[in-house]
């Protein structure tokens, strides 16, 4: 599945909940999306709090999906092509040296 398909599904979901409306109790502002992204990433970290492996792969998958959804939405509202951004960053990283 490609990023654009995931992005559309994410926007359709957010629209269906009314979260893009000005009067939403869950306003989808860039700041709120960034905060939510970090909070969801912390929930991923909880899976590894007491060990090297997640005790529940299905729950971990759900948390990773939450992170990706917020990441997709944050990139989209800033008109960033996330796929291209990843490729650009990989190009930069290929030229870097880690010592």
- pLDDT, one tens digit per residue, over 42-65 is 999 999 999 999 999 999 999 999
**pLDDT reported for residue 98:** 84
| DSSP string over 30-83 | HHHHHHHHHHHHHHHHHTTTTSSS-S-HHHHHHHHHHHHHHHHHHHHHTT--HH
Q: Per the CATH hierarchy, to which homologous superfamily does domain 29-95 belong?
A: MazG-like (1.10.287.1080)
Taking only the tens place, the pLDDT of each residue in 10-33 is 999 999 999 999 999 999 999 999
Taking only the tens place, the pLDDT of each residue in 59-90 is 999 999 999 999 999 999 999 999 999 999 99
Q: What is the CA radius of gyration of the chain?
A: 16
């Amino acid at each position: 599945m490609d990023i654009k398909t995931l992005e559309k599904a994410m926007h359709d979901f957010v629209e269906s909940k009314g979260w893009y409306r000005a009067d939403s109790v869950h306003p989808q502002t860039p700041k709120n999306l960034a905060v939510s992204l970090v909070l969801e990433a912390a929930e991923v970290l909880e899976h590894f709090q007491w060990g090297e492996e997640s005790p529940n792969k299905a729950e971990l998958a759900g948390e990773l999906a939450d992170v990706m959804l917020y990441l997709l939405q944050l990139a989209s509202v800033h008109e960033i092509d996330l796929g291209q951004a990843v490729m650009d960053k990989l190009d930069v990283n290929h030229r870097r040296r880690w010592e």
